[in-house]
Amino acid sequence: MTRPFAPAAERNRQPILEVLRTYLSQAATVLEIASGTGQHVNYFAGELAECHWIPSEKDAETLATLGRGLAGLKRPNVAAPLIIDVIGTWPDLEVDAVIVANLLHISPPETVQALCQGAAGVCRSGGILHVYGPFMREGKHTSEGNVAFDASLRGQDSTWGIRDAEQVIKAAADSGFACLEQIAMPANNLSLVFVRQ
Ligand SMILES: C[S@@+](CC[C@H](N)C(=O)[O-])C[C@H]1O[C@@H](n2cnc3c(N)ncnc32)[C@H](O)[C@@H]1O
């Protein structure tokens, strides 16, 4: 069985880990939304071994891919993956942090608000929401590479596209998350860190 592999996840896992290290408390329970191949959760669970990790994907088909990615890894601090469609009903959970990478440009615009509302429903007061990916700033792309990437996304699916960071910050605030930090990341990406109030 071939383990699914995303080269980008291999490149960005270390910079994302450095942000998470700063914000995750010891023994935090962390829900990952849109886990994809499982490469991130596997790496983070190895490096932050005192935390408890819950991967998730949007439906049975993508959960099967994630299951193949996690198969045989036997990390005691990684729970069985959950089905969570951001736009659907979220499970009844309480976690210390919700993390998500590279979702908002590969989903319709309403995913921004649904993510913030859903995260607010599961994240304890004082907990963290970390959102990573490419974003525009105040309606403008931050690089030529992102202009081309945005055009190619919209060509694949007219509902996809790079979102505006300010739109995410506003949706998060409307759901009770204050923005703690906006961190420029390699390859014209951004980490947005929020705390649940
Ligand atoms: C580009 S991949 C990113 C995977 C991983 N987070 C990473 O950074 O490598 C986007 C992921 O978002 C998931 N996704 C798309 N729409 C979703 C939704 N409504 N709810 C949850 N996940 C979704 C896809 O199934 C896919 O695995």
Query: What is the percentage of the chain residues whose pLDDT exceeds 90?
Result: 96
CA 119 remoteness from chain centre? 11
Statement: residue 106 has pLDDT above 90: yes
pLDDT in tens, 167-178: 999 999 999 999
Averaged pLDDT of the chain:
97
- Rounded to the nearest 5 percent, the helix, strand and coil shares of the chain are 40, 25, 35
Statement: residue 153 has pLDDT above 80: yes
Establish whether residue 106 lines the binding site of ligand 1, counting it when its CB lies within 6 angstroms of any ligand atom. Answer: yes
The mean pLDDT of 153-176, rounded to a whole number, is 98
Establish whether residue 42 lines the binding site of ligand 1, counting it when its CB lies within 6 angstroms of any ligand atom. Answer: no
Spacing, Cα 26 to ligand 1 middle (Å):
27
pLDDT in tens, 12-27: 999 999 999 999 998 9
CB-CB neighbours of 194 under 10 Å: 27
Establish whether residue 153 lines the binding site of ligand 1, counting it when its CB lies within 6 angstroms of any ligand atom. Answer: no
pLDDT confidence band for 74 (50 / 70 / 90): confident
Yes or no: say if 181 and 112 are a contact pair by the CB < 8 Å rule: no
Give the pLDDT confidence score for residue 1 in this predicted structure: 66
Q: Give 182's contacts (C-beta < 8 A, 6+ positions apart).
A: 165, 169, 190, 191, 192, 193
Spacing, Cα 109 to ligand 1 middle (Å):
14
Q: If you take atom 13 of ligand 1, which residue's CA is the nearest one?
A: 34
Spell out the domain ranges in the chain.
7-196
pLDDT confidence band for 3 (50 / 70 / 90): confident
Establish whether residue 102 lines the binding site of ligand 1, counting it when its CB lies within 6 angstroms of any ligand atom. Answer: yes
pLDDT confidence band for 91 (50 / 70 / 90): very high
pTM metric for this prediction: 0.98
> Measured between alpha carbons, how far is 164 from 154 in angstroms, rounded to an integer?
15
The mean pLDDT of 89-98, rounded to a whole number, is 98
Spacing, Cα 137 to ligand 1 middle (Å):
22
pLDDT confidence band for 32 (50 / 70 / 90): very high
Which residue type, as a one-letter code, is found at position 27?
Answer: A
pLDDT in tens, 122-138: 999 999 999 999 999 99
Tell me which architecture the domain covering 7-196 has in CATH: 3-Layer(aba) Sandwich (3.40)
Q: Does residue 121 sit in helix, strand or coil?
A: helix
> Measured between alpha carbons, how far is 39 from 181 in angstroms, rounded to an integer?
25
Give the pLDDT confidence score for residue 66 in this predicted structure: 95
> Measured between alpha carbons, how far is 125 from 166 in angstroms, rounded to an integer?
23
- 18 to each of 24, 32, 48, 135, 153, how far by Cα in Å? 10, 16, 11, 20, 28
Statement: residue 60 has pLDDT above 70: yes
| Angle, in degrees to the nearest 10, between helices 165-174 and 111-122 | 40
Closest C-alpha to 106, from 97, 115, 98: 115
The mean pLDDT of 54-75, rounded to a whole number, is 94
